[in-house]
Structure 1
């Protein structure tokens, strides 16, 4: 049986440069790939073992715009959501849900990227 290494959600974005800039400047991701060189429309960005793929090809369609019960587009597991929340707060990130223990048994926070995708950063409550 093969071991899994990681999963990389694929998000359609309205403007690749704006999206990449948000993840790099605000969330401290790094560019793993961007191309094609002459007119980029695709990027892979990451931080630690997680990554996202972004493609400028149409209108974004975050889950919550289709179903009000589907509030997240990605769950990003982090060992210390409190420390990450403080890092992002200090960087001026705007949160759609502040750091808290929620009714799903998770501790974490939510934020919206430039295209309206909702990312949850957290872990199961201890």
Structure 2
């Protein structure tokens, strides 16, 4: 019997406006649109960059008022310095965002997207 193998994970991030979220991920983070459930007013879409695929799902404003927690993603990368400089050039984060060496032997930086979903990019040392 073949051993089951897990290949990928596609996290779903809650967003207030799918079009605005798509614009942020494409223009600021360098992703490409993988799919959208509607070409004019999508409520569910996916973006892809290299081997990372993230899904974006619209959530009603009433849900945001209740203060639900948004996810924090940790994304493994290579050439972390170059990615940090790319995002810095594109104005993705504020001037307090820094590329840091951690006690757990990584180099990483973190910021929030337009809907307060946390994104941490890191490289093992």
Shared fold (TM-score, shorter chain, > 0.5): yes
Structure 1 length as normaliser, TM-score?
A: 0.83
Matched residues, number:
116
SS of match in other structure, 2:84: helix
For structure 1, list consecutive stretches of 5 or more residues without a partner in the other structure: 64-72
Contact kept, 8 Å, 2:13 with 2:57, in 1: the verdict is yes
Contact kept, 8 Å, 1:76 with 1:121, in 2: the verdict is yes
Contact kept, 8 Å, 1:31 with 1:45, in 2: the verdict is yes
SS of match in other structure, 2:97: strand
Contact kept, 8 Å, 2:70 with 2:117, in 1: the verdict is yes
CA distance in 2, matches of 1:97, 1:9: 23
Structure label with greater radius of gyration: 2
Query: What displacement does 1:87 show?
Result: 1.0
CA distance in 2, matches of 1:61, 1:27: 22
For structure 2, list consecutive stretches of 5 or more residues without a partner in the other structure: none
Contact kept, 8 Å, 1:43 with 1:54, in 2: the verdict is yes
Contact kept, 8 Å, 2:14 with 2:70, in 1: the verdict is no
Query: What displacement does 1:88 show?
Result: 1.0
Query: What displacement does 1:98 show?
Result: 0.9
